[in-house]
Each structure stands twice: as C-alpha cells, then as structure tokens.
Structure 1
Amino acid sequence: MTDRPAPRFFSYAQNLEDYHLSLLLGDVERGFYIDVGGGHAVADNVSFWFYERGWRGIVVEPQADIARAYRLVRPRDATVEALCGAEVGEAVLFQAERFHGLSTTVRQHAEAAGAAGVATVERRLPVTTLAALCAAHAPERIDFLKIDVEGAEASVLAGNDWTRFRPRVVVVEAVAPWTMADRSADFAPILTAAGYRDVLFDGLNRFYLAGEELQRAARLPAEPTPWDAVLHLGEYGPAHRDASHPDHALAIGFDPDLLGRLAVMEADELSPRLPPDHAPDSEATRAALARIATMFDGGYVVDEA
C-alpha cells in the first residue's frame, strides 16, 4: 500500500509566521499567545492557526469592528480593544479606512498613507501595557508574543516586565511601513537586554527565542521556508465562486450581499440562514463564516467586478 502524502500546512498568516511558529512550538498542546495588533481575526492572522488547535490568548486590537469579530469568532481569546505601549494612558490611533492593516499611532506613517491615497481617521484610545495585560490575563507560561503595530513595536516591548513575563518566542515586525527598511535597531536592544536571541528573519519579521528556550532554534530552517511549501487561505478566490475553497458549500447558501457581514452576525440572525448541521455559535461554523467573509470585509482587499 502506498503511503498518502502528509497534508500540506494551511497557513492563515501573511508571511508564513504561523508555519515557522509551528516548527518552534509544535510540541505544545493548548498553548497561550499574545497577539498585539491582531488585525483581521482570520486573514493574514498569525495566531488563528493555533486557536483552531485549542490554544487561546490575549488579542490587542483597537479597531472596534475588528475587535467585535474576534469576540464572535474567537471567544476563548481575551480581546482587548485598546492600544498597547510603554505606559498606561491615552494615545491617538490613525485608523485607516478599508486598509485596516495600515492603521498606526505613528503620525509619519499615517501621513505616508495619506500621500498614497489611504484616508485615516484620528481616534483617541486608551493605552495599556504588556505587563498590565499579562498580569490580568496570562497564565504562568506564555508560548509566543507577536507584535505588528506599524512602527510602534519598540514602545510595546518597553511596556513589559521581562523578568516576570517571558514568552518563549517573540515575533516582531521588523521593517518600516512603506519603505520596508529594516528597523530592528529600534527594538532589538530591549530584547537583547532581556536575554532573547534573534534566530530568524523572514524578510518581514524577526523571531526571537528566550535564552532558556534556545534549544528550539534547531527546529527552524536555515533560510525562511519558501512561500509555495504550504497552502494559503489568501490563494483562494471568493468562497461562493471558487469551488475549491474549503467553505464553498456553505458560502453558496448565502445571499452574496451578506458575505461581508458573516463574521459579525449574531446567532439569531445567522440561525435561519445556516444548514441544519451548522450551529451558529459553534467554533467551526464561526471559523468557516470568517473565512468566507475575508474577501468582502477587508480581510483581503480585492476589487470585485
């Protein structure tokens, strides 16, 4: 009998971050993450692959519509609708319209977005710190911390108590918005002083291991994994049109005008529209609905003809 090939990894992340994290932490069951700058609950998301496998964590997402989707799609997570920085207080978020991944607290980057035709709206929001988040929500062991906050990563890292709260792995977006210049020097000294070592640069992020976890570095490839080594959610077309999409059968049962709202619809609105074998509050159903919605709710920005 011929052995079947192992199924390919199904990545939700922008740059295979979830795949590389799975190599480092594949032996961990029902672990814990902190995702600062969560973005869309599914599309280009670093932590959702782990959530599907029973993990839970803290998600910091200041954009209200996106935070609402987290609460429905990922109820095991503690969703914190705030900014994260060096000190508790308040700050202005320049929230990008449509291109939510470009929202930033750095005025320079907001101005660059405006010059490129991306409008932003200023919102004053509360700021918390990593130390405060961990004290309120984290268990004793934190498996990974991911930070993607469009230029304010150093400020987020400065707000942790690295003696008390030590994620095994830290993943930090390391290039500047728009220019893509390496700006690791802005934040690397904080992690180096805390006893972390840089073990991988994937072209977008730097992966750091705590000194006490350095044996895990041998699990990583010498070079970043090629893009085509795994499957990607973003490679599928709109779910109601692409018969190969994993949620095509469910998507075709909805009015196309509703597809962009599926991730944030309440159970009473969903129930009459779902097949009998799909409970509106089951995590599997919510995940499928969120995957369907990605092409229409800003998860992936596409121009529909």
Structure 2
Amino acid sequence: MNNVKDLTKRLATRLFPRLRYSVLAYSSEGEDLLLKRIFDEKKDGVYVDVGAHHPFRFSNTYLFYKKNWRGINIDPMPGTMELFNKYRPGDINLEMGVSSVPQELTYSIFNEPALNTFSAEKVKEYTQKSCYKVIGSKKVETRPLAAILDQHLKSTAIDFLTIDAEGMDLEVLRSNNWQKYRPAFVLVESQPYELEKGTSSDLLKFMHQKGYGVFAKTYYTYFFRDMQGNYTGPND
C-alpha cells in the first residue's frame, strides 16, 4: 500500500510539479502549520478542541489527527459529532457546550455554521450583515471544561488546547482547572487588536494571571505558551 502511495505521489508531482511545493493546511488562518512547527516531530500528542466545528473544515487539530495524535473534540452543533465519529473515530467526540457551571443554554444556529453561538451579543453582531441569519435555536447542555476533562482525559497532559467558542472563549478559559490541566499552548480566537489594549485586555490579563504569555498570533487567533512549562521549541 505504501509503495502505491509513493508511486502515486511521484506521478502526481511529475505531472503537476507545483504540488511538490504546496503546503496543506486545514485551519482557517494556518494555525495548524504554526503548531506543526512548534511541535516539530513530536509523536503521540494530545489536543483538546473546544468549538471543534467540523472534522476537517477550519480545524486546528485534523493535521495532528493524521499524524496519529489523539484528543477531545467538543461542539454543541446538533448532529456534528456524527461526522466526527465517522471521520475521527480515534478521538473522543462530545456534542455539548462549555460554560462556567453545568446548565442548559440557548444555542443560536446560523446559515453559516462557523458562527453558531451561545452569545446573544454575537448574534446581534453577526446579524448586522445581511448575508448571515439565525435559522434555528436549541437548548444545549453545557458543563465546565474541568469537569469534561476529569471525565474523559486519561491524564493531565495536554499539548495544546484550542478554543473557538464565538463570544464564550473567556468563559471556557475560566471553567478550566489551571492547577490540574496546563496545556503547553493555548489557542484562543479573539479580536485582532487585543495586544494594543495591553493590561486592559481581559483575555491577556487572564492568561497572564494563569502563567501564560503571548507566543504568536494570526489575525484572530492568539497563541499562549505556558511560561511554567518545559517547552524548548523545535530543533533548528
């Protein structure tokens, strides 16, 4: 099988030489490529994806699933985990939301699923554009991240936690047990100009209090590194 794959790859690059230099990314802003650089050749890693959305589309974790990493995918979109269970059966796939306390929240469903949210403020923001509209809503069970990890994670080791919770990101962060679960890196989607706010940014302030510093960023995604950890970076 590997010989067939190698032959196919060589034939494809001969017919389409540009393929040799292409770089495959599944993330919306190339976050998985930066993570790939961060973790270099690390094998058997662990990720947690809150707001996982889809097994491949806009996924910060699928590239690592293909590298035999495994982890937990969490998303409240009804029916989402059928796709995850089909295409990512090695992961733990949970159809639920994350909040500070166990409860049921109203989940607004958009014509663009990437915008689905528990946040009433985000609903108002997104519907300012005529191309986006709410097409449904549903009461969804939510639990603190710490409780979810206690139940489903076999150890406390997490290489990276990625959060895209459409307005609930800070609440997700606050619901973790940072003494017990300290991912080496935390990715959080937020507004592009958080760094300009400095100490007035609730996100940066919270992560600093938990012992994390800004490591890198894309347009919307902030990479935080555990300053108390032992990460030394990839080999040059």
TM-score tier by shorter-chain length is 0.7 to 0.9
Is residue 163 of structure 2 the alignment partner of residue 147 of structure 1?
A: yes
* Counterpart-to-counterpart distance in 2, 1:186 and 1:41: 30
Match of 1:156 in 2: 172
What is the CA-CA distance between 1:219 and the residue it aligns to? 5.0
Q: Given that residues 61 and 81 in structure 1 are in contact (C-alpha distance below 8 angstroms), is that contact kept between their aligned partners in structure 2? A: yes
| Structure that is richer in strand per residue | 2
* Counterpart-to-counterpart distance in 1, 2:194 and 2:123: 19
1:223-269 Cα shifts (integer Å, max 9, x gaps): xxxxxxxxxxxxxxxxxxxxxxxxxxxxxxxxxxxxxxxxxxxxxxx
Match of 2:152 in 1: 137
* Counterpart-to-counterpart distance in 1, 2:128 and 2:218: 28
* Counterpart-to-counterpart distance in 2, 1:197 and 1:146: 15
1:37-85 Cα shifts (integer Å, max 9, x gaps): 0012101111000001111111111112322101111011111111111
Match of 1:252 in 2: none
Question: What is the aligned counterpart of 2:108 among 91, 94, 103?
Answer: 94
1:98-126 Cα shifts (integer Å, max 9, x gaps): x0001111112112323323222221111
Mean Cα deviation higher: 64-73 or 143-152: 64-73
The DSSP-based 3-state class of the residue aligned with 1:115 is: coil
For residue 107 of structure 1, what is the amino acid of its counterpart? A
Q: Identity of counterpart residues, as a percentage?
A: 23
Match of 2:119 in 1: 106
Q: Given that residues 102 and 142 in structure 2 are in contact (C-alpha distance below 8 angstroms), is that contact kept between their aligned partners in structure 1? A: yes
Gaps of 5+ in 2: 1-18
Gaps of 5+ in 1: 221-305
The DSSP-based 3-state class of the residue aligned with 1:146 is: strand
What is the RMSD computed on CA atoms of the aligned residues?
A: 2.3
Is residue 24 of structure 2 the alignment partner of residue 24 of structure 1?
A: no
Question: What is the aligned counterpart of 2:143 among 116, 128, 146?
Answer: 128
Is residue 190 of structure 2 the alignment partner of residue 174 of structure 1?
A: yes
Q: Given that residues 189 and 221 in structure 2 are in contact (C-alpha distance below 8 angstroms), is that contact kept between their aligned partners in structure 1? A: yes
Is residue 229 of structure 2 the alignment partner of residue 213 of structure 1?
A: yes
Question: What is the aligned counterpart of 2:68 among 50, 54, 58?
Answer: 54
Q: Given that residues 157 and 187 in structure 1 are in contact (C-alpha distance below 8 angstroms), is that contact kept between their aligned partners in structure 2? A: no
The DSSP-based 3-state class of the residue aligned with 1:20 is: helix
Match of 1:233 in 2: none
What is the CA-CA distance between 1:201 and the residue it aligns to? 1.8
What is the CA-CA distance between 1:197 and the residue it aligns to? 1.0
TM-score (norm 1): 0.64
The DSSP-based 3-state class of the residue aligned with 1:101 is: helix
Q: Given that residues 40 and 66 in structure 1 are in contact (C-alpha distance below 8 angstroms), is that contact kept between their aligned partners in structure 2? A: yes
What is the CA-CA distance between 1:208 and the residue it aligns to? 0.6
* Counterpart-to-counterpart distance in 2, 1:134 and 1:188: 23
TM-score (norm 2): 0.82
The DSSP-based 3-state class of the residue aligned with 1:212 is: coil
Match of 2:14 in 1: none
